[in-house]
Copies of this chain bind each other. A is one copy, B any other.
């Protein structure tokens, strides 16, 4: 039986992680759960899964929860609480499904504590991949990707000769605005940006998908997860989202993972790895799909993607700036205070004014993020 701590248990990935665990009660035990502020959801999860410890990031809400649940479970709060859930003795694996840079410290602490990581928080690798991956190697733990693209790449690398890896082909649906001109994007509303054609996800990641910043972050994440140069990662638009990503080898063979758009697949693969267990749900029906299309990404319309490649190639602290700037910009956009095309503009402005620090340590990374958040964030971060 694997003991699991879930950071971000009320979100999209968190609840689907609990769906997988619910289907295999003999295989998993939930030992810790952490949320930002959704104590109503959390209290139900406590009743169902009886964790030892829960964290409510928001102090006030944590106090409210304590009154609701009594002494059966330890309620912690703030960053210390989140880290406590990440390093809890009893956990074998930590599902890190918080959104944003808030995941950096808990991931590093969990790796330091020797926990396997199921990683849905891409920001931690984007900003601190140069710290996390060597540490993971030193500690001998696995960083198991939990999004459909990186899981697909990870699956496509299993049993293959890693020394023969030629390139990674990172697929993208292209989001709701594929095929639009830069001008057409100017008038995009929040509700338009929130309607993704294929995937049902959280708000932040849905906006990131509409700007294709998400693909930029995934590119940076892939670079660290699979130890591959940015130049060897190709982005391919595959609008039907059936091919979840691919790996090309030196002999010209391409190995791909395909599937229906269902986040429970990468979640379950990470939790059971390397076992394949039955997962209820739709299967890819090639007879009815009929066709798959491929396109080159449009770097003019999706300036956020172009900037990501620039930030990734610059390296050092630049990806942190890219990511923090985007987190702020998305929050501003969701709050209705800036337009859709202001998102890449804001990222570009912050990147342009940043003096790159090579090989930043975790405090520097978090510090840069907080400085940007302090300056630009006028709303609560969505997690």
Contact = CB atoms under 8 A, between A and B. Distances in A.
Given A159-B158, A291-B294, A293-B291, A276 B251 contact: yes
Given A257-B255, A259-B253, A236 B286 contact: yes
A164 interface: yes
Contact of A161 (B275, B289, B291): B275
Interface of A: 155-161, 163-164, 169, 236, 246, 248-260, 262, 265, 268-269, 274-279, 281-284, 286-287, 289-296
Given A159-B158, A291-B291, A292-B291, A253 B236 contact: no
A370 B278 CA distance: 46
Nearest to A249: B276
Given A159-B159, A294-B289, A259 B269 contact: no
A252 B279 contact: yes
A287 B236 contact: yes
B290 A293 contact: yes
Given A258-B246, A293-B290, A284 B161 contact: no
A301 to B, nearest CB: 16
A278 B254 CA distance: 13
A120 B296 CA distance: 37
Contacts of A284: 248, 252, 254
30 contacts: A155-B160, A155-B253, A158-B160, A159-B159, A159-B274, A161-B274, A161-B276, A163-B276, A164-B275, A164-B277, A164-B278, A246-B258, A249-B276, A250-B276, A251-B265, A251-B277, A251-B279, A252-B259, A252-B281, A252-B284, A253-B269, A255-B256, A255-B257, A255-B258, A256-B257, A286-B294, A289-B294, A291-B292, A291-B294, A292-B294
A330 B255 CA distance: 35
Nearest to A296: B287
Contacts of A293: 290-291
Contacts of A248: 283-284
A23 B19 CA distance: 52
Contacts of A279: 250-252
Contact of A286 (B169, B250, B251, B259): B169
Contacts of A286: 169, 236, 294
Nearest to A256: B256
A296 B290 CA distance: 9
A252 B282 contact: yes
A71 to B, nearest CB: 39
Given A158-B160, A290-B293, A254 B253 contact: no
Contacts of A156: 255
A30 to B, nearest CB: 21
Contacts of A249: 276
Contacts of A158: 158-160
A17 to B, nearest CB: 15
A254 B246 CA distance: 12
A257 B252 contact: no
